[in-house]
Amino acid sequence: MNSWFPDVPVIPFEGPDSRNPLSFRHYDAGEVIEGKPMREHLKFASAYWHTMRNGLDDPFGSATARMPWDDGTDSLENAEQRIGAFFEFLEKIGIEYYCFHDRDVAPEGATVEESARNLEHIADVLDRYQNETGKKLLWGTACLFSHPRYVHGAATSCSVDVFAHAGAQVRQAIDVTSRLGGSGYVFWGGREGYSTLLNTDMPRELAHLARFLEMAVDYRNRSGFEGQFYIEPKPKEPTTHQYDFDAAACLNFLREHGLMDSFKLNIETNHATLAGHSMEHELETAAAAGALGSIDANMGHPQLGWDTDHFPTDIYLTTRIMRIVLAMGGLDQGGLNFDAKRRRGSFEPIDLFHAHIAGMDAFARGLKIAAAIREDRRLDDAVQIRYASWDSDLGVSIEAGQVTLEELESHAKSVGEPDLSSGREEMLESIMNDFIR
Ligand code: XLS
Ligand code: NI
Ligand code: NI
């Protein structure tokens, strides 16, 4: 087989003292943490759109990424060649899963039929590579935001014909995802929102979005796709306002339309930041509703205001994420998809390895640190102690819904002014810091 990364070996685990940049210093796939090997805690996926299709252009300059496997055309041959490079990458980096949009892997045709044929053809190729390498599809999705027809949205377009095109695309993408054994399917509402309310019938658009998702659920039930459906919240970009603003907005929408049983959320760090939340906030919100399904593992930059999709290298971030994931007992069918791109200056093919190693090692450290914090118990105990008054007879009865306002009033009279304790925020931060090493 032709090698596109001839100078890169299969990346070995060499331990924290290694000075070899093409090695894992912390990610040791077989190391057992809380009874499970790291590879099961950290179901990493590589995002085809960034790894293979992102030339690293920005609004001020053209693509810089060197991609010797890509001849720059939209041909099926080129699409196949890219897939070869991608699976070589997955094998060498030791990542088991991947994610794609339909249009990342196969070229859009001139008609609905031609696009479908292209996608079917490429699905055969992906299937062959999956069988040869044992790599798996974490989730698939349809790109409903790049083509000019989606300028006013897809499921929320003002045009019913565009809505129909979006339906055709999603039906095919679900089929291909199912055929490739994908464990999930993501709906990210790229342009499902508005640019200005002056031209927008918001209630009508929201009703259309709900209809669209109902149709997708109906199709899944009839087609036998066994993967999990996810919605990926994002507040803005490319549109001014996106309806799937944050976890809370998505949950409200799903509840309003009776779709809670059919969807979970795929939470992305950079989208949380854009919504003015921390990643922890979004994860906790989803987890509290039993709807935390999967994670798009990236991060933003404090000095840049958009979805910059940096690789997640912040150990505090990965620690906080893994604390929540461990507490809920793992992500089930979900995983950690590196929806992340290299910086424009990191344009050599080998930077794909450096970038993913950085993310994987950061998550391995986050996992180990989170497990150590859990074993130590000081942080968990502090929360439990803080709410101890709720374990009293009164607290338990209130939580069970057996107390009236009059009963609260007589209790308040009998206890007098409540005796409160400090929240000890700085002390807890300092305890957390003890583990980051
Ligand atoms: C863009 C989104 C997108 C989804 C998949 O901001 O993160 O990449 O993850 O459509
Ligand atoms: Ni994403
Ligand atoms: Ni994003």
Q: Whose CA is nearest to atom 6 of ligand 1?
A: 307
Instruction: Provide CB contacts within 8 A for 105, sequence distance 6+.
Output: 48, 79, 83, 119, 122, 126
Q: Which is nearest to 260 in space by CA: 247, 271, 270? A: 247
The region, left, alpha or beta by phi > 0 then psi within -120 to 50, assigned to residue 242 is: beta
Q: How confident is the model at residue 305 (pLDDT cuts 50, 70, 90)?
A: confident
Q: Which two tokens stand for residue 158?
A: 């003002």
For 134-163, the pLDDT digits (tens) are 999 999 999 999 999 999 999 999 999 999
The residues facing 294 across adjacent strands are: 266
Instruction: Provide CB contacts within 8 A for 355, sequence distance 6+.
Output: 311, 340, 342, 346
Confirm or reject: Cβ of 188 under 6 Å from ligand 1.
Answer: yes
Query: Given this model, what pLDDT does residue 1 score?
Result: 59
Pick the CATH number of 32-376 from 3.20.20.150, 3.30.830.10, 3.40.50.720, 3.30.1330.20: 3.20.20.150
Average pLDDT over residues 308-330: 98
Give the whole-angstrom CA distance, residue 230 versus residue 184.
7
Confirm or reject: Cβ of 106 under 6 Å from ligand 1.
Answer: no
Query: Given this model, what pLDDT does residue 99 score?
Result: 99
Residue 2 has pLDDT above 80, yes or no: no
Q: Which is nearest to 312 in space by CA: 281, 267, 275, 345? A: 267
DSSP-derived letter for residue 93 is: H
Q: Which two tokens stand for residue 373?
A: 């914090």
Numbered ranges of CATH 3.20.20.150 in the chain: 32-376
For 344-396, the pLDDT digits (tens) are 999 999 999 999 999 999 999 999 999 999 999 999 999 999 999 999 999 99
Residue 437 has pLDDT above 90, yes or no: no
For 27-76, the pLDDT digits (tens) are 999 999 999 999 999 999 999 999 999 999 999 999 999 999 999 999 99
Strands (E), 132-197: 136-141, 184-188, 193-194
Measured at the alpha carbon of residue 252, what is the angle toward residues 248 and 254, in degrees to the nearest 5? 115
Give the whole-angstrom CA distance, residue 218 versus residue 156.
19
The mean of the pLDDT values for the chain is 98
Query: Given this model, what pLDDT does residue 249 score?
Result: 98
Residue 414 has pLDDT above 90, yes or no: yes
The residues facing 193 across adjacent strands are: 242
Helices (runs of H) and strands (runs of E) counted in the chain: 16, 12
What DSSP element (H or E) covers 5?
A: none
Q: Is 421 helix (H, G, I), strand (E, B) or coil?
A: coil
pTM of the model as a whole: 0.98
Q: Specify whether the CB–CB gap between 113 and 119 falls below 8 A.
A: no
Instruction: Provide CB contacts within 8 A for 375, sequence distance 6+.
Output: none
Q: Whose CA is nearest to atom 5 of ligand 1?
A: 188
Q: Which residues lie at CB < 5 A from ion ligand 3?
A: 307
Give the whole-angstrom CA distance, residue 327 versus residue 223.
34
The residues facing 230 across adjacent strands are: 186, 264
Q: Determine which one of 28, 102, 104, 175 is catalytic.
A: 104
Confirm or reject: Cβ of 234 under 6 Å from ligand 1.
Answer: yes
Q: Determine which one of 26, 101, 165, 310 is catalytic.
A: 101
Confirm or reject: Cβ of 339 under 6 Å from ligand 1.
Answer: yes
Phi (first) and psi of residue 419, to 5 degrees: -100, 110
Confirm or reject: Cβ of 307 under 6 Å from ligand 1.
Answer: yes
What DSSP element (H or E) covers 432?
A: helix 425-435
Q: What percent of the chain has pLDDT over 90?
A: 99
Give the whole-angstrom CA distance, residue 230 versus residue 185.
6
> Does 101 qualify as catalytic in the annotation?
yes
